[in-house]
Structure 1
Amino acid sequence: MEQGITQPSVKSQHLWWQNGVIYQIYPRSFQDSNGDGVGDLQGIISRLDYLQWLGVDCVWLSPIFSSPMADFGYDISDYQGIHPLFGTMEDFDELLGEVHNRGMKLLLDLVPNHTSDQHPWFLESRSSKDNPKRDWYIWHDGKADGGLPNNWLSVFGGHAWEWDEVTQQYYYHAFLKEQPDLNWRNPQVQEAMMNVMRFWLDKGIEGFRVDVMWHMVKDEQLRDNPPFPGSTFDPNDLIYDHYTPVYSTDQPEVHEIVHMMRAVTDEYDDRVLIGEIYLPIHKLVTYYGQDNKGAHLPFNFQLLTLPWDAPAIAMAIDEYEGALPAEGWPNWVLGNHDKPRISSRVGREQAKVAALLLLTLRGTPTIYYGDEIGMRDVAIPMNEIVDPQGLNMPDLNISRDPARTPMQWSGEINAGFSTHKPWLRLPFNSGRVNVEKQKGDMYSKLHFYRKLISLRKEHAALNVGSYRPIYADQQLISYVRESGNERFLIVLNLSHRPAYFKPRQESYSGTVILGTEIERIGMQVEDIITLGGDEGLLIRLS
């Protein structure tokens, strides 16, 4: 690992989304202002001072648009309306202004792959075969024997084709049947969605996170997806992951659509386009586009999906750095609304090591609300599950509810989130694990996050500096961040046992400026460094 990948010299000028920290809010669960048990825009406004105190630069909101809520906002019935649960357009305008008043940016979730089945576009499309909007969605006859058009499955379980009795055809839905997929091969669909983007950009938002970007275009011939290698083929098997979605996702033409979205984004100054893309690295990096005219940040989910294993993660970081196009800017994600929380995946103590990794790697980090206080997945009784993914496949225990529970603000009733019973239950320990309690404890995870974010802002080497891997073994990852005369060594023990940093060629000495154990700060280190289990160090090199 001594011979590392090096980057081109750091550019003199970086954009806000390159040196900033993004903070994801799941609006239903951040703060309830009107006592109905569901978070809302006014609630978010009331907590912006906290986000400013924490040091984040950009707030990303999961969907707040008009929706029947079959998939909690990812089934949109009006792309230019606000759901009454969250407030009004006036509330949104106030939120945007208050975010900007604090020197922060605001991103919205764009869900272009599918709409709600209650969207006026779809109501027209399904009204008759000759309706002008019929081709706005993916309709198809069944096979001659009466079978489905192909074997494509829904991510949420079951077949992805829904029969429409009125027009005697099937329509395609990659997710719920209430979420019909748009036909992105239709130029009218393309123009309509570009105008949706312009509507919000004209309001002054700083950009979009684009939902399931790699799903947007499907194989024109509707060919069957093959079984996943090694799986036992069973035509009655209706579990999405048992097939490889080579024809229903990641088609070559999707890059033309991403290029269109980037062109619209570039009509405005200093905006950013982020893509949700769960693909291997060699495919992920293609979404930067030719001449870097695709997504500014194709989301990199390796820290979400890989086993928490030092050799695997060290290799993945280097593979990613090596695969990036020349002008491509990296990014990293530890948690989001679709995956188990980091503290549940790797444990409470190791989650601090993960935070140190997230906030010292080269590239833009995204923090999921509550991770900064160590929120864990909450055990939701089966009779309280509301997530359609969990309800449709109960035997797989894949509900996303446990990672979407209300923010734990204080020891008050309902953790200060609401005066009413929250839409999802809180953990039993929310009286101990909350923002208010951790704000008063300098040893807390919250203060650790705040200090890390502050150090990122203070030091160009940690912010936009180069990355060079130094040493990795079965327990450790280590690397150097450098800019000008500043050099920092980061050493992370991803195991629960003591470990030893033993560089093979260079000599390293310096001062610990932050560690998962606060007592380490100020200590001098040299050459072989001993780390305890679940320990990470940030060292300013001499």
Structure 2
Amino acid sequence: MWSGSRLCICHPCFYGPLAIHAANPITPLRFDSPQVDMGYDISDYEKVYPPYGSVKDVEDLIEACHKRGMKLILDLVINHTSDQHAWFKESRSSKDNPKRDWYIWKPPRYAEDGTRLPPTNWRSYFSGPTWEYDEHTGEYYLHLFAKEQPDLNWENEETRKAIYDSAMRFWLDKGVDGFRVDTVNMYSKGVEFKDAPIVDDKFYEQPAWLYYANGPRMHEFLREMNQNVLSNYDAVTVGELPHTPDPKKVLEYVGAGDKQLSMVFQFDIVDLGQGREHKYHFEEWKLPQLKSIVAKWQQFIEGTDGWTTVFCENHDQGRSISRYASDAAHERAPSAKLLSLMLCALTGTLFVYQGQEIGMINVPASWPIESYRDIESVNFYRTMAARTHNDPAELAYIMRSLQVLGRDNARLPMQWSGEAHAGFTDCERGPWMRVHDLYGDINVERQVREGEGSVLGFWKRMIRFRKEHADVLVHGAFEGFDMENEQTFVFGKRVGEKRAAVVLNFTGEEQTVELPGYEGLVFMVGSYEDAEKQEQGAEGRARTLRPWEGRLYLAGC
């Protein structure tokens, strides 16, 4: 099981590894792309974006990782390609081209007055319709994301074989150890293409994930992928699984006996606070909601042959400190350590997003929309500006939502030092977007100097501790206590006679908690440096936690 391996994931974007497990970020990899969606619009699966190296550089990277006992997995983006991919250029060239059916083409519909309409009313993730009209052939093609990202037609067996060869075998033959699989549940869209229900009558386009996520042939396609490709390489897969809140449905993907995916990123925790009708309509939430989500996805594998993941950040989300704790100057380091302690005590394979290990936070609220680069964020802002005629209140609400939830929060340049451009580059013009205003305060170089007391030092300590007690922390069964408490989170872990107890204060004020009633609990680690001193002489089960403090106890070691 990969729960104890050192793992690095590289993906098409240029801001660093997607995730790490007990490893530090390394050189990023990006496939060749016009960069409409920061590399997720791939124009050639078998090439690397030239400014960032070559295929030979990747081969060297694979070799270097393996020499150090690390495994390297790549981001697999096979729901769609760039419209500059050779396959799509052929597909759109004519209706009778052999690759026409490699993508999803449909004729227009017409209103009673003769107005041309797209085949369905589906809304793109990046605002507007999911269909783009092609004047040359007089039909629409489907794109769930940007119009420059046409969806591949997985119903076509020849298309699937080409995907397996070009996007997977090409890299597996070079020694990569597996894939983080992008939008893994969207390949099967069915064949009916119905209109989506109207949930927002202010727009023609409506969210339609119920028709294109977890489609009728999804599990068939993944079984085929495993049988034909992955099983021949003993490759690991981590699937990105949005729109799937039912644990039974998730288990269908990760059951070891069915051989579909090794594990998945289930989205409940990172969806917290997102709007029901529009993602960037932020909604306030309470701590019991977060606790319920953690418990749900900790417990769903009990008694099964499935496996789970532990994460709360990725390249599509706001930073965890800003979202789940406090990024105020005097609270951000305690908050980072609190979240580290929580995550390192949870069952599953732990994923730490680059920058999380030094406590990077969201962009400042003062940044205007002109400072944002993400296509999803910018398109939504423009759409709502047009729809509301630049209503100041609505746009202020959207900017607040983007500041909390926007993808650019995780896509800022990595903060390596307090030098110009946060030490990310010595190029005079700087990186692709501005660095965080606080890079002088939050950076790797500074925290290395600070040692064990820094956020980085605490993460290192917690990962070592997690490995030392992997039986109960990585594999133990979860149980929650006082789950309706809105200030604190208390949970236990158990395996055999061994027990772990975790107490967390999710507020900026002192809180009293009760330890679980496990016999023989001994304090082991705390997010405050003097936590051990605070524990001396403590009696009974009651403990007073300082703002954003976490502590972990063990029994039966």
What interval of TM-score do these two structures reach, taking the shorter chain for normalisation?
0.7 to 0.9
User: Aligned partners of 2:68 and 2:512: how far apart in 1?
Assistant: 43
Aligned residue number for residue 427 of structure 1? 436
CA contact (8 A) 1:502 1:528 kept: yes
Give 1:148 deviation, angstroms: 1.3
Give 1:25 deviation, angstroms: 5.8
Aligned residue number for residue 319 of structure 1? 296
* More RCO (CA 8 Å, sep 6+): 1
When normalised by structure 2's length, the TM-score is: 0.83
**Cα deviations by residue, 1:226-274 (Å, 9 ceiling, x for unpaired):** 134xxx434x344xxx5342113221211111222233212113x2111
Give 1:26 deviation, angstroms: 6.6
Change (3 A) 1:221 1:210: same
More moved, 372-381 vs 299-308: 299-308
Spell out the pairing of 1:149-164 with structure 2 (5 A cutoff): 149-164=119-134
Aligned residue number for residue 393 of structure 2? none
Query: SS at 2:212's partner residue?
Result: coil
Matched, 1:359 2:344: yes
Spell out the pairing of 1:410-489 with structure 2 (5 A cutoff): 410-420=417-427, 421-441=430-450, 442-472=452-482, 473-483=485-495, 486-489=498-501
CA contact (8 A) 1:163 1:171 kept: yes
Choose which of 283, 307, 319 in structure 2 pairs with 1:341.
319
Number of residue pairs matched by the alignment: 498
Query: SS at 2:80's partner residue?
Result: coil
**Cα deviations by residue, 1:79-131 (Å, 9 ceiling, x for unpaired):** 11111021011111111111112211111001010000011110110111111
Choose which of 245, 248, 255 in structure 1 pairs with 2:212.
248
Give 1:484 deviation, angstroms: 5.1
More moved, 161-170 vs 245-254: 245-254
Which amino acid letter does the alignment assign opposite residue 528 of structure 1?
A
User: Aligned partners of 2:271 and 2:8: how far apart in 1?
Assistant: 19
**Cα deviations by residue, 1:156-193 (Å, 9 ceiling, x for unpaired):** 00011111111111101001110000010100111111
CA contact (8 A) 2:223 2:258 kept: no
Matched, 1:198 2:141: no
Give 1:478 deviation, angstroms: 2.3
**Cα deviations by residue, 1:500-528 (Å, 9 ceiling, x for unpaired):** 32357x35543322111111136355422
Aligned residue number for residue 230 of structure 2? 265
**Cα deviations by residue, 1:302-325 (Å, 9 ceiling, x for unpaired):** 332235743223322332244337
When normalised by structure 1's length, the TM-score is: 0.85
Query: SS at 1:105's partner residue?
Result: strand
More moved, 472-481 vs 134-143: 472-481
CA contact (8 A) 2:21 2:351 kept: no
Query: SS at 1:518's partner residue?
Result: coil
Aligned residue number for residue 276 of structure 2? none
Aligned residue number for residue 129 of structure 1? 95
User: Aligned partners of 1:517 and 1:64: how far apart in 2?
Assistant: 39
User: Aligned partners of 2:251 and 2:493: how far apart in 1?
Assistant: 22
Unaligned runs of at least 5 residues, structure 1: 1-14, 31-38, 45-50
Spell out the pairing of 1:96-175 with structure 2 (5 A cutoff): 96-145=62-111, 146-175=116-145
Give 1:410 deviation, angstroms: 1.4
Change (3 A) 1:123 1:513: same
Which amino acid letter does the alignment assign opposite residue 160 of structure 2?
Q
CA contact (8 A) 2:105 2:141 kept: yes
Change (3 A) 1:61 1:312: farther
User: Aligned partners of 2:447 and 2:432: how far apart in 1?
Assistant: 24
Change (3 A) 1:383 1:319: closer
Which amino acid letter does the alignment assign opposite residue 233 of structure 2?
Y
Percent sequence identity over matched residues? 37
Matched, 1:519 2:489: no
CA contact (8 A) 2:76 2:182 kept: yes
Change (3 A) 1:431 1:27: farther
Query: SS at 1:68's partner residue?
Result: coil
Change (3 A) 1:385 1:326: same
Change (3 A) 1:281 1:61: farther
Change (3 A) 1:58 1:100: farther
Query: SS at 1:344's partner residue?
Result: helix
Change (3 A) 1:530 1:461: farther
CA contact (8 A) 1:512 1:540 kept: yes
User: Aligned partners of 2:502 and 2:420: how far apart in 1?
Assistant: 40
Change (3 A) 1:62 1:141: farther
Unaligned runs of at least 5 residues, structure 2: 274-284, 327-331, 385-397
User: Aligned partners of 1:520 and 1:253: how far apart in 2?
Assistant: 53
CA contact (8 A) 2:33 2:41 kept: yes
User: Aligned partners of 1:332 and 1:481: how far apart in 2?
Assistant: 15
